[in-house]
Amino acid sequence: MHDHQPQGNAAPPGGERPAWALIGPGIAALTGLYLLTMPFGPAARLSLQLDLALSSQTALLMTLVAYLVSAAAGGALGVGLGGRLLTTVGLAAIAFMIIGVLLNALAPDAGIYLTGRVLSGLGAGGAVGATVAFARRAGRRWGAVVAILAGLGVLALIVGPFINHGLSSALGWRWGYLITVLPLVVGLIAAAVSGFVLLLTRRPAQPNSAGMPYPPAEQRPWTAPPGT
């Protein structure tokens, strides 16, 4: 009896996933955390209220509450689907974020601005949820990956208002949203490329313990004709 050795292209043990697949959703998640706090730079908040004729309470409702509620809904979907459908969830989340920040940057009135915050919050929540769900499947590397992303996420939350305050003072409050388009496009490209690579490198089905089955008798060139 022959011992069958594991095939060289066997899938990684324990369902491990490559950590580099998190690049696209990770960029989107960090951008989403920046978008959470960036409207609260003093210059940005005042400029937003004056430009869109908003009271302080209405501005708070639109910039924070609407974003958090939609992010919570997106996060639930991201956690539920991101472990198995990272590329699909990541691409959809980033697309929502790009549309949302463009609506915010170009908003002529409060209604369009609110729609943009809801869409960007939904996308940000999906990106964060998918990143967390998928990171747990990165095997031995997931602890380091999550630690790095968590550290960068805290940094994004802290510096968001300061960056937006400087941009609003120099160029206007809309630029705080426009600068996020570039990293989001990079994240979109990274998510698409990593998804394509994962699709190409998907492991084929492995043979059973008896080895590769032989073809049917009629397809075996060495089989003698019947009746001989």
Nearest to 31 by CA among 204, 177, 221: 177
Three-state DSSP at 76 gives helix
Most trustworthy range by pLDDT among 17-26, 73-82, 109-118: 109-118
Residue pair 184/190 in contact (Cβ under 8 Å)? The answer is no
Q: Which residue has the tokens 């998640």?
A: 29
At residue 137, what is the residue type?
R
Mean of per-residue pLDDT scores for the chain: 79
Q: What are 162's two structure tokens?
A: 């300061």
pLDDT tens track for 158-192: 888 888 888 888 888 899 999 999 999 999 999 99
Query: Which of 27-41, 134-148, 197-211 bottoms out in mean pLDDT, i.e. has the lowest?
Result: 197-211
pLDDT tens for each residue of 110-146: 999 999 999 999 999 999 988 888 777 665 556 676 7
For the whole model, what pTM was predicted? 0.76
CA atoms within 13 A on the CB side of 31: 34
- Give the pLDDT score at 11: 38
Among 35, 31, 60, CA closest to 48: 60
Give the confidence band of 151 by pLDDT, cuts at 50, 70, 90.
confident
Q: What b/e sequence results for 58-96 when a residue is b if at least 16 CB atoms lie within 10 Å of its CB, and e otherwise? A: ebbebbbebbeebbebbbebbbebbbebbbebbbbbbbb
Which one-letter amino acid corresponds to residue 127? A
